[in-house]
Amino acid sequence: MEQKAKSRSLKTAVIVYAILFYGLWALFEFFGKSLLGSMIADADLLELVKEVIKNLVWTLPAMLLVWHFRDEVLVKLKDMFTTKVNWLHYLPVFVLFVVFNIGLNLFWSHSLHIDPKLSIVQIIVLLSTGLTEEMVFRGWLLNATFSQEKNRQWIAIAVNAVMFLAIHFPIWIMKARFVSTFTSGAFLVILALGVIFGVSFVKSKNILVPISLHIFWNLIVGLFE
């Protein structure tokens, strides 16, 4: 009886969190960023402030929730940073990311060149994004919803990948890329990444694996844009 009550409490927390998280972040994307832009003239400083806000809104609450529900989640907060990992198992994924992005650039532009506009601040943002997004979507949401029942495990990973896709909607709308992202099929890449990051977390029980994969992907994409 007590276990069922704890399970219901965790499900309620996930639902309430998701509603607040998506709602507040959409408001920030639609209104908050422009408001910050009107107050901070320096572009680099503005980007850094946005990342600080994102870390406070994304990473901190996710870690606190994992700690609070430590007896119900798949991996406890401490364990997800200390569980030993055989990184050689994930080397093919890193190689795949490089090959895919180089191949995509060669296909579309018939050339390969490093983005000369890539700044230190942009690199910091790319690194930070891997941490914040993985702590929320894999470290907390997938961690809290993953089932030990084999027939429901892939459902949890798939739903998590869709949720990961959905958090990109506001920024795509603001940049007028929402329709083109779906008509071009580019959204499938985000879905696939969500599955890869999710599987890597479930298999390794270490959040540093999807964080590393995510950061590496962001750096490769940013490098060749």
Burial of 216 (0-12, 13-18, 19+ CB in 10 A): middle
Mean pLDDT of all residues in the chain? Answer: 92
H or E element at residue 183: helix 178-183
For residue 225, the model assigns a pLDDT of 63
Classified as helix, coil or strand, 35 is: helix
Q: Is the pLDDT of residue 108 over 90?
A: no
Separation between Cα atoms, residue 185 and residue 192, nearest integer Å: 12
Provide the domain limits for residue 117.
2-224
Confidence of residue 74 (pLDDT cuts 50, 70, 90): very high
The string of pLDDT tens digits covering residues 12-46 is 999 999 999 999 999 999 999 999 999 999 988 99
Separation between Cα atoms, residue 2 and residue 72, nearest integer Å: 12
Separation between Cα atoms, residue 187 and residue 196, nearest integer Å: 14
Separation between Cα atoms, residue 190 and residue 167, nearest integer Å: 11
What is the phi/psi pair of residue 83, to 5°? -60, 130
Cβ neighbours, 10 Å, residue 15: 10
* Residue showing tokens 């907060």: 77
* Residue showing tokens 């680099």: 44
Domains contained in the chain, number: 1
Confidence of residue 104 (pLDDT cuts 50, 70, 90): confident
Sign of CA dihedral 209, 206, 23, 147: positive
Separation between Cα atoms, residue 147 and residue 78, nearest integer Å: 20
Letter for the amino acid at 67? W
For residue 81, the model assigns a pLDDT of 96
